[in-house]
Chain A
């Protein structure tokens, strides 16, 4: 809680007018004019990047790109409980992604290609970490977010050689194009789309290939929503998922498709109620929280929304206990004294990771996920 009571000036700085509904995003009917609420959310994105940097600085995570994607001057040491949460969340999604991608084999980069689509990616660094370790690349990575967010990320990429290097676009002959408005980026392995997710479902009748250029509709694909869909209304969130499962990706024969969700849950106990009301005072409404309030509800959701071959979930506390090996737990626990055990349990039980998949034409793609320990409740 490093001074959350002090207004986050960075959120104001980043709420500038660039990318205001121009270019692709306007074509798709989105409107990302910054408003007071935009700035609030920009603030929460900064929160996330600052939290990541804090966890990196203290040795929880290794992430060479955290500094470049955190607004300068906003580095702040987070409480141990927040650092541990950032660590578990990042590590858990990394594990799911790793199992999906499988081991990297240089001779198979063209034949075993896969695809990741990150929804509301914000300042996430995962793409840099993955691509830097898999060159030449055997995957295509897409990020979808509002223009105001994609523009600042592209700005960071432009100004940071290390980021371009990670993406493999640091050579003069690199095939990379950035839109005039600076909010869209396309390269062979990485695409940034300034798109309002809600607008996707409105475009199901038009030429799907122009909505998200670079998406390969036959590649085994992983969708990642880290606290993204939860901000939409339940029907909007469902429509977004449907756009991918039914429209963008062919269903006959079905493209192998997985979805990883990371979201708060359990809004109905004392902690959950307080969380909902506290976030409301910050102008944050987690619209699907009550609909998908439990792990059971998350599994049903995945099953009903096109991921019929497997659904599982676990809260962050469970993942800390069961996914992290003892030696690593000891290492992490030794980084800082954690005088917040009860609070850690409370907080960590109110966030979950849920994952579901459809095998489609290739039952081997999500095979690795079946070995992950799920929470049965």
Chain B
């Protein structure tokens, strides 16, 4: 067993590895990450995960629900650290897995992977507390600077393979009829299907434009799903981009999926522009790199100021244009707590995936991960078209009849892990409530 495997085993048990080993690990990780572009290409099948925030036990639950590494190909969209009490264990484990299985583990940067934010939101303090100095924090921050800013998932299937197990009475699904394909499926942590949606197979572009595909659960605390005008992702992929590096290859109807932590930027109209950013630095306070990590979709038109103080708000029209222009079928992002774990907006043009259940041990939310299946219809060849700059030039003509179809999406929803299982050291975390008490002794309430 290699040192790395031993470290993985130790971290899986929520036990830290020595500082010297962290240093070595971070060095290796950087060597690996430096070779990655700003936008990493990932082939489906892949499981896309949102914020983790140091909730180590919930990360273990995520692996239980989503499958272990390397059996499952994972893409984590950042915010590994801060807030939770096990940022170190969580991030170092993910980093070990990245170094051990580079092709099965993609990590992109979240806005919390930053020196400034980690000093406010807990990771810095945790490093000091657990290692006695800021060294490990420094090593980790150096790794943060090399994390990719986004990923492009290629070759995702438009149709899901149906899951057999289902939670009988609670299943609410549209009737599967002939000539339909399974588009989305929601599973609980026991692997039972709780919801599925179907769509017509081989749709024409006009079908796509009338199909509302907001499947977010109703009791979400965030803004209600928008009633924006129906999307018209009807043009051939890449037509708006002058035919370079966009669109799907013939035979693959599914457009690529862009994964990024926060969202879009007014300075970025094409995926290729992301590739031009000099990313190896602390997250700036403004500019394209900042926006990708900080922005949020919102029920507005165009761009708006973000209440977070960094990044922007962007509306459904922006997403539609961006997806169309880049031959994308979906933007997957994290960054925002959603009570149901995931939330599709803008007729399925963008999805928020949130993977920290009962966030901060107090929010009462569930978490989700998003699985995209592999498209085997084109004989296993993966459409690379959006993976690398300059590829697939002119593959698609402007008059192509191909339609960019969104990938089949399987959401696995899970709750916070029981804290006392699997023999892991766990203390009951204390959630912080602001303003709870300007003191009145409680004994009086219980002394009668």
Q: Which residues of A contact B (CB under 8 A)?
A: 1-5, 30-32, 35, 37-38, 40-42, 44-45, 47-48, 51, 77-82, 85-86, 89, 119-124, 145-146, 148-149, 196-198, 226-228, 231-233, 236, 262, 264, 269-275, 278-279, 281-285, 287, 316, 333-334, 336-339, 341-343, 345-347, 351
Contact = CB atoms under 8 A, between A and B. Distances in A.
B340 to A, nearest CB: 10
Contacts of A2: 125
B83 interface: yes
A120 B439 contact: yes
Interface string B418-436: 0000000001111111111
29 contacts: A1-B122, A1-B360, A38-B443, A45-B437, A48-B437, A78-B434, A80-B120, A81-B434, A82-B434, A121-B439, A145-B440, A146-B440, A196-B444, A227-B437, A228-B440, A232-B440, A233-B445, A270-B339, A270-B364, A270-B365, A274-B363, A275-B364, A278-B361, A279-B436, A281-B428, A281-B430, A284-B436, A339-B111, A343-B363
A339 B441 contact: no
Contacts of A78: 434
Contact of A5 (B85, B310, B337): B85
Closest 3 CB pairs of A and B: A45-B439, A270-B364, A122-B439
B27 interface: no
Interface in B108-149: 111-112, 117, 120-122, 125, 129
A120 B129 CA distance: 35
B442 A40 contact: yes
Contact of A338 (B307, B365, B436): B307
B222 interface: yes
A274 B361 CA distance: 8
A123 B438 CA distance: 7
Nearest to A344: B307
Interface string B343-384: 000000000000000111111110000000000000000000
Contacts of B437: 41, 44-45, 47-48, 122, 227, 231, 284
Given A149-B441, A198-B444, 7 more contacts: A3-B129, A5-B85, A41-B439, A79-B121, A338-B308, A342-B336, A345-B221
Contact of B309 (A35, A79, A226, A334): A334
A61 B330 CA distance: 44
B117 A278 contact: no
A120 to B, nearest CB: 4
A271 B362 contact: yes
Q: Give chain B's interface residue range (CB within 8 Å of chain A).
A: 35 or more
A37 B441 contact: yes
A342 B121 CA distance: 16
B441 A146 contact: yes
A119 B439 CA distance: 10
Given A337-B310, A343-B359, A283 B430 contact: no
Contact of B120 (A38, A45, A79): A79
B446 interface: yes
A231 B364 CA distance: 23
A314 to B, nearest CB: 15
Given A231-B445, A343-B337, A121 B430 contact: no
B130 to A, nearest CB: 12
Nearest to A227: B437
Contacts of A271: 362-364
Contact of B435 (A41, A119, A227, A231): A227
B446 A278 contact: no
A279 B437 CA distance: 11
A279 B442 CA distance: 12
A89 B441 CA distance: 21
A81 B120 CA distance: 11
A102 B430 CA distance: 42
B441 A41 contact: yes
B302 to A, nearest CB: 20
Contacts of B308: 337-339, 341
Contacts of A196: 444
Nearest to A273: B364
A3 B125 contact: yes
Given A269-B364, A338-B309, A346-B363, A120 B438 contact: yes
A47 B432 CA distance: 9
Nearest to A4: B430
Interface in B387-435: 427-435
A270 B445 CA distance: 26
B439 A44 contact: yes
B433 A339 contact: no
Nearest to A80: B120
B121 A339 contact: yes
Most buried by B among A1, A271, A341: A1
Interface in B282-336: 296, 307-310, 336
B363 A341 contact: no
A121 B121 CA distance: 30
Contacts of B438: 45, 48, 120-124, 226-228
A351 B435 contact: yes
Contacts of B221: 342, 345-346
B442 A284 contact: yes
Contacts of B439: 41-42, 44-45, 48, 120-123, 145, 149, 228
A85 B434 CA distance: 7
A139 to B, nearest CB: 20
Nearest to B119: A77
Contacts of B360: 1, 343
Contacts of A119: 440
Given A48-B435, A227-B440, A339 B430 contact: no
A69 to B, nearest CB: 11
B168 interface: no
B427 A285 contact: no
A334 B307 CA distance: 10
Nearest to B294: A339
Contact of A227 (B309, B430, B436, B448): B436
A35 B444 CA distance: 11
Nearest to B79: A339
A226 B308 CA distance: 29
A343 B431 CA distance: 13
Interface string B218-258: 00011000000000000000000000000000000000000
Contact of B431 (A81, A278, A333): A278
B447 interface: yes
B248 to A, nearest CB: 34
B222 A283 contact: no
B443 A35 contact: yes
B117 to A, nearest CB: 7
Nearest to A32: B441
